[in-house]
């Protein structure tokens, strides 16, 4: 079931996200995010954009959300999209279902342009986004350093 995030989901969302914080370059954070900080983010982002979770048998196994791209008013029709799935639920179509719902809601809100920021390389994320029509529009070298390695970042864009 796909639904809006609730307070009861915050620990599961942190567990999913913090796995990537600690083991991958998909997030440029280096310290696990506590529930209190995640609550602040959810409160901020959901003022204008959806934050969805995928619940399976009572357990949150994935989430996605949109956030403001830039603070200037003219950017209000652009949103940055993000998705994370539980490591044991990859490749099962959950990401596609979450994004389909998120993109439908963003379109209904009048969002025109979506941006996805992807640490490169990340073939699975690139494939997911490109499957929805995202095109790579930027590639920045050595944007972050995590686990002692420089990481490139790409921007993918899709128009609704």
**CATH of residue 8:** 3.40.630.30
Residue 63 is encoded by which pair of tokens?
A: 């989430």
Give the distance from CA 33 to its chain's centroid.
Answer: 15
Classify residue 144 by burial, with Cβ atoms within 10 Å: 0-12, 13-18, 19+.
middle
Domain containing 109 equals: 2-115
Count of beta carbons in the 10 Å neighbourhood of residue 131:
11
**What is the distance between the alpha carbons of residues 135 and 118, in angstroms, rounded to a whole number?**
12
Is residue 139 a part of any domain in this protein?
Answer: no
| pLDDT in 10s for each residue of the chain, 160 residues | 999 999 999 999 999 999 999 999 999 999 999 999 999 999 999 999 999 999 999 999 999 999 999 999 999 999 999 999 999 999 899 999 999 999 999 999 999 999 999 999 999 999 999 999 999 999 999 999 999 999 999 999 999 9
Helices (H), the chain: 10-23, 35-45, 94-108, 123-131
**Is residue 154 in some structural domain?**
no
Question: What is the reported pLDDT for 151?
Answer: 97
Q: What's residue 42's pLDDT?
A: 98
Tally of structural domains, the chain: 1
> Is residue 7 one of the residues assigned to a domain?
yes
Read off the pLDDT of residues 93-119 as tens digits, 9 standing for 90 and up: 999 999 999 999 999 999 999 999 999
Residues 32, 20: contact at Cβ < 8 Å?
A: no
CB 42 within 8 A of CB 63: no
pTM: predicted TM-score of the whole model, two decimal places? 0.95
In a domain, 132, yes or no: no
Q: Cα separations (Å) of 41 from 44, 65, 133?
A: 5, 11, 27
Q: Is 138 contained in some domain?
A: no
């Amino acid at each position: 079931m796909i639904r809006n995030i609730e307070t009861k989901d915050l620990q599961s969302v942190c567990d999913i996200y913090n796995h990537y914080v600690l083991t991958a370059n998909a997030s440029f954070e280096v310290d696990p995010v506590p529930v209190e900080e995640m609550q602040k983010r959810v409160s901020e982002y959901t003022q204008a954009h959806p934050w969805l979770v995928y619940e399976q048998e009572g357990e949150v196994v994935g989430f996605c959300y949109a956030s403001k791209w830039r603070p200037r008013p003219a950017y209000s029709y652009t949103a940055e999209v993000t998705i994370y799935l539980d490591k044991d639920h990859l490749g099962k179509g959950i990401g596609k279902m979450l994004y389909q719902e998120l993109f439908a809601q963003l379109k209904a809100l009048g969002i025109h342009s979506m941006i996805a920021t992807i640490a490169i390389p990340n073939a699975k994320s690139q494939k997911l986004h490109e499957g929805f029509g995202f095109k790579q529009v930027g590639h920045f070298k050595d944007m972050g350093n995590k686990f002692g390695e420089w990481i490139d970042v790409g921007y993918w864009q899709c128009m609704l």
